[in-house]
Amino acid sequence: MLNFDFYNPTHIVFGKERLNELDKLVPQNAKVLITYGGGSVKKFGTLPKVTEALKGREVLEFGGIEPNPRFETLMNAVDVVKKENIDFLLAVGGGSVMDGTKFIALAANYKGNDPEKILMGGAGTVEEAVPLGTVVTLPATGSEMNMGGVVTYNGGKLVFMSPLAFPKFSFLDPTLTYSLPKKQVANGVVDAFVHTTEQYLTFPVDGRFQDRTAEGILQSLIEIGRKTMDEPEDYDTRANLVWNATMALNGVIGSGVPQDWATHMLGHEITAFYGVDHGQSLAIVLPSLLRLRKEGKKAKLIQYAERVWNITTGTDDEKMEQAITKTEEFFNSLDVKTKLSDYGIDASGIDLMIGGLEAKGLKALSETRDITLDVSRQIYEAAL
């Protein structure tokens, strides 16, 4: 097992009908800015419940944070924070709202005139952030219990990380996710699944707890993925999706093991240039990437085949191919297609995406840094 530090200060409040407990967790004298995306938090009654729980405090709202939150939108919120002397942020929504709110928390106290540098490796220069909490309405990203985020800037999706961005608390009420469209639920299942494989399908370092926990998450998502789409108000099934999505990216399964993240980096370019949903982009990239990197990931791919998919017969090559095919079939069973052509993208788009990777300096991806731009091109080509 590799050396590691583990730190996660987020207080999780899990279960139904607990939003009234916001009153205990948000300081009584706080001036609160609630951030959210579209109108669904109003339409389905989540926002009124939140504001009722915050009664007695001065509360402002900032809506309109889009999927793949844009830097310009978030800077408008930063202006509100500064002008109104906001001292607590509460994100009500899914990963985009939570990621965007983390950026707002950091940018509001950024000392320079170029807050975009937070997205370019400069998050560590921020010395203080506005405290934030979250109310999760879409299980997918794990942003409710980690220190990272992704923001769209100049057409690209850029990652930032800072310990100051950990939420103070996060409310995970599975019933708040019942109204989600099937498509969003499916994307969330895929996102959590690939978050897990990015930390698991690398190379062995005898991280037994991490491996078994990752395998448990993957098996759980396989078991509940379609059911939670078809039976959205089955509480136990949806509760398992919510908690698995959180555990997939809160640092536990990634501590002390190598991590990949090439699937995400390649997927970000598909989203940036073609507007394909994040979960869909991951489903496109992962099978092709695994096929092209079979040798480098051989030991873990065979372990994945045997432990997650119960594939115990055949040659090593047959086991690996069956496991990758099973993964594709799982994504397709969620109505998430796995080819670029399924989204109207042909070979002419590959140059654009390779150019995007090159512009960001993403020329040596994966846990072993062996995915060059040429290999990235091959992965995209194999996904056509």
Q: What is the pLDDT of residue 144?
A: 97
Half-sphere exposure of 308 (CA within 13 A, CB side): 31
pLDDT, tens digit (0-9, with 9 covering 90-100), for 94-137: 999 999 999 999 999 998 889 999 999 889 889 999 999 999 99
Grade residue 245 by pLDDT with cuts at 50, 70 and 90.
very high
Considering the chain, what percentage of its residues have pLDDT values greater than 90?
95
What's the whole-number mean pLDDT along residues 156-177? 96
- Distance linking the first and last C-alpha atoms of the chain: 37
Q: What is the pLDDT of residue 40?
A: 86
Q: What is the pLDDT of residue 182?
A: 96
pTM for the whole structure: 0.95
- Separation CA 187–CA 198 (nearest Å): 16
Considering the chain, what percentage of its residues have pLDDT values greater than 70?
100
- Separation CA 168–CA 163 (nearest Å): 11
Grade residue 43 by pLDDT with cuts at 50, 70 and 90.
confident
Grade residue 44 by pLDDT with cuts at 50, 70 and 90.
confident
Q: What is the pLDDT of residue 112?
A: 85
Q: What is the pLDDT of residue 38?
A: 86
What's the whole-number mean pLDDT along residues 12-38? 96
Domain 180-382 coded CATH 3.50.50.60: no
pLDDT, tens digit (0-9, with 9 covering 90-100), for 53-94: 999 999 999 999 999 999 999 999 999 999 999 999 999 999
Q: What is the pLDDT of residue 155?
A: 86
What's the whole-number mean pLDDT along residues 205-226? 98
- Judged on CB neighbours under 10 Å (0-12, 13-18, 19+), 300 is buried
Residue 212's nearest CA partner among 177, 152, 257 is 257
Query: What CA–CA distances, in Å, run from 183 to 150, 186, 225, 263, 334?
Result: 21, 5, 12, 20, 8
Grade residue 42 by pLDDT with cuts at 50, 70 and 90.
confident
What's the whole-number mean pLDDT along residues 13-39? 95
- Separation CA 124–CA 118 (nearest Å): 8
What's the whole-number mean pLDDT along residues 275-299? 97
| Residue 308 main-chain phi, psi, to 5 deg | -90, -40
Grade residue 48 by pLDDT with cuts at 50, 70 and 90.
very high
Domains of the chain by residue range: 11-176, 180-382
**Which CATH fold topology does 11-176 show?**
Rossmann fold (3.40.50)
